[in-house]
Amino acid sequence: MAASITRRGFGATLAGTALALGATRGASAAAKIRLRYGTAFPASHPGVTRIQAAAATIAKETHGEVDLQIFPNSQLGGEADMFSQVRSGALDFMSTSGANQTVVKTGWINVIAFAFKDYKQVWAAMDGGLGDHVRGEFAKIGMHCLPKMLDNGFRNITSGSKPINAPADLKNFKIRVPGNDLWVTAFRALGAAPTAIDFGELYAALQTHLVDGEENPLPLIDSAKLYEVQKYIAMTGHIWDGHYIFANMHRWQGLPKDVQAIMTKALDDAALAERQDIATLNTGLVTTLTKKGVSFTYPAKDPFRETLRKAGFYAHWQKQFGDKTWGLLEKYSGTL
């Protein structure tokens, strides 16, 4: 894969794809490729800062001819809206969880509860056969997925009233979940009372005891100040989720091959660096949140898995996803 291209070589390949890119000829400035990238991550999140660094690398390697503009904090709309914009071609790039999209159910497969025990299993699966399968399914609807995903982290359960150490502690526990059937059915099978509430309303729901707890990655628990209304965090790591980096397929295929190579390497490198950032952040947040008055517990995962298995959770979702997709998941997670 080429690390960079000469200005003359770039000009030649760009000229050959000018019509596909809709470029206007004349002034030298018109030779630029301008691309927009939207994300819901806040500006300070590694999922933004690392992509910004990738944009700088792309500009350098293409001698300033490619301008990847980053729009964090949902400036271009919510995640579902940005996904639709990329699919239609109104937006060039965005990142989001496959679980946020209903058009490709296969994209949810990584959020099967208690499927992955650790990051070793996660990256083997998502950088390997399972991820390749999901990326292929998104390609069928006109979405190009970059090879490496961004890390959004393992999700953990918080509580305002009691520590969570075992499935029995979740009996009738009112827990806020995203509006996705995988979350709802998982916590219902664990004996809890899941309630779908928009994230923007979560703090107030916890403060007024509309729900007893919630579940999110540590960075989000910290940034949303949920520790002010939740005093216990159970490091269940029950769901791992990440962000695919999506591009509009037609737009991507219209880029010169050398540009595709440069962008793929820069964005993949950014994703790998972001993963390490999240790992470092998670380690530090245990100390930070403890100092803020939060108590941590570390429940064993096998009892939760066994409870889900007995409740028919895994059998139900195997039918929903189909044997091929489920088989790829179990190749990395083990039998569920």
Residue 98 has a pLDDT of: 84
Asked if residue 16 belongs to a domain, the reply is yes
Residue 106 has a pLDDT of: 95
Residue 27 has a pLDDT of: 33
* 124-164 pLDDT per residue, tens: 999 999 999 999 999 999 999 999 999 999 999 999 999 99
pTM, 2 dp: 0.87
Query: 229 with 109, same domain?
Result: no
Query: 201 with 267, same domain?
Result: no
Residue 154 has a pLDDT of: 96
Query: 45 with 113, same domain?
Result: yes
Asked if residue 77 belongs to a domain, the reply is yes
Query: Rounded to whole angstroms, how far apart are CA atoms 204 and 153?
Result: 24
Query: 99 with 12, same domain?
Result: yes
Query: 251 with 310, same domain?
Result: no
Range of the domain at 305: 154-240+288-333
Asked if residue 11 belongs to a domain, the reply is yes
Burial of 40 (C-beta count, 10 Å sphere; 0-12/13-18/19+): buried
Query: 219 with 162, same domain?
Result: yes
Residue 31 has a pLDDT of: 41
Asked if residue 60 belongs to a domain, the reply is yes
Query: 95 with 206, same domain?
Result: no
Residues forming a β-bridge with 175 = 194, 213
Query: 35 with 139, same domain?
Result: yes
The answer for residues whose C-beta is within 8 angstroms of residue 176's C-beta and 6 or more apart is: 194, 195, 196, 197, 202, 205, 206, 211, 213, 214, 215
Task: For residue 158, give the CATH number of its domain.
Answer: 3.40.190.170
Counting as low any pLDDT under 50, the low residues of the chain are 1-3, 12-31
Residue 1 has a pLDDT of: 44
* 13-31 pLDDT per residue, tens: 444 444 344 433 333 344 4
Query: 208 with 93, same domain?
Result: no
- Exposure string of 293-307, with b = 16+ CB inside 10 Å and e = fewer, is ebeebebebeebbeb
Asked if residue 2 belongs to a domain, the reply is no
Query: 78 with 14, same domain?
Result: yes
Query: 184 with 122, same domain?
Result: no
Asked if residue 195 belongs to a domain, the reply is yes
Residues forming a β-bridge with 239 = 155
Asked if residue 1 belongs to a domain, the reply is no
Considering its fold, how many domains does the chain have in total?
2
Asked if residue 328 belongs to a domain, the reply is yes
Query: 215 with 271, same domain?
Result: no
Cα 260 to Cα 2, 57, 229, 266: the distances in Å are 10, 13, 46, 10
Tokens of 308: 């889900």
